[in-house]
Amino acid sequence: MLSRLVLTDVRNHAALALAPAPGFVVLTGPNGAGKTNVLEAVSLLAPGRGLRRAALTEVARSDGPGGFAVAATLNDGVTLSTGALPAAPERRVVRINGAPAPATALAERVAVLWLTPAMDRLFTEAAGGRRRFLDRLTLAIEPGHAREGARYEAAMRDRNRLLAQPAPDPDWLAALEAQMAQHGAAMDAARRRTVAALDQALAAQPAGEIARARIALDGWSGDANALAQALRGGRARDAAAGRTLIGPHRVDLIVTHVDKARPAASASTGEQKALLLGIVLAHAELVATLAGRTPILLLDEVAAHLDPLRRGALFTRLSALGQVWMTGTERALFDAIDTATWVALDNIVTPTTISAASR
């Protein structure tokens, strides 16, 4: 959990310092106050591009010096920081306890999972978003998944570039395919372990206020030898397509609405949101059981479209899940919460104000 968060030149926040306690962290304020920007900053403390998948230059304050910084202290005393320097605004810088580190190393220190209104369409859009969602679920259980994924993607990019050449070196191709096979098989195995454990946890969920889901993976699966052979046999096809057409980067997460016995993609928008929320809650509880810690949850506008009964049920379940950051335009949405770190963001005109958390 975070015990301190400091933002410098992040979106509309020139300077913002928060001291969140364990449990609920509730950010309220009008539209445009920068509530989601704070959640985005926390999401950047994990590997990847954060909850908006924005370029670093977009995260930096538009009228600032060009770079930005997110610094945090965990409740165990570990310090994390990430951002970009004004001299190199497109290059991400990560430090752990003051020492330079790769972004993938963040997964070994903290797990972050989020839900945003944009994710309401997760089940109806392209498979890439569902894979990224699954990878965040997997990271919370197996932090090494970030490293395997990064190495697989790097080897695949090099292979694709090599296949675009008129006469690619077969030995170089074989070496890259061996790397893809090694890291791709590890990615696939970690994902499938996560899906199996989470689906079992979902199956044990009682019927209630939150829709019940079942999950499965669809697409390629196999060991390193099988993937290496498939890549070698698909060189001509991949060269013609300009991309790699087989491997763990092509799988899809399949979600079913248990109570309605139909795919999540055909459920109503409200049902899809509830299914997604149910998966996140079950996953956080699973991580607490398996790893002895829960991910930091970032829930953007999660209460806005729930009736009071369902909001109360949600808050009750969330109360046992470590540190949960939530946003809303009105504090009344969170009346069912007894204890929280309350943060009011209401300064739109002069976003240089430092706001401190109040309990």
Tens digit of pLDDT at every position of the chain (359 positions): 999 999 999 999 999 999 999 999 999 999 999 999 999 999 999 999 999 999 999 999 999 999 999 999 999 999 999 999 999 999 999 999 999 999 999 999 999 999 999 998 999 999 999 999 999 999 999 999 999 999 999 999 999 999 999 999 999 999 999 999 999 999 999 999 999 999 999 998 877 767 789 999 999 999 999 999 999 999 999 999 999 999 999 999 999 999 889 999 999 888 898 899 999 999 999 998 887 778 899 999 998 878 888 888 889 989 988 899 999 999 999 999 989 999 999 754 333 333 444 44
Long-range contacts of 336-340 (CB under 8 A, 24+ apart): 336/308, 336/311, 336/312, 337/24, 337/26, 339/23, 339/24, 340/23, 340/24, 340/25, 340/26
Cα-based distances in Å from 142 to 104, 154, 169, 202: 12, 20, 35, 19
Tokens 């195995």, located at residue: 189
Enumerate the β-bridge partners of residue 99. Answer: 96
> How many residues are there in the chain?
359
**Distances 358 to 19, 195, 242, 355 between C-alpha atoms, Å:** 8, 38, 54, 9
In contact, 327 and 315? CB cutoff 8 Å: no
0.75 exceeded by pTM: yes
Alpha-carbon distance 103 to 94, whole Å?
6
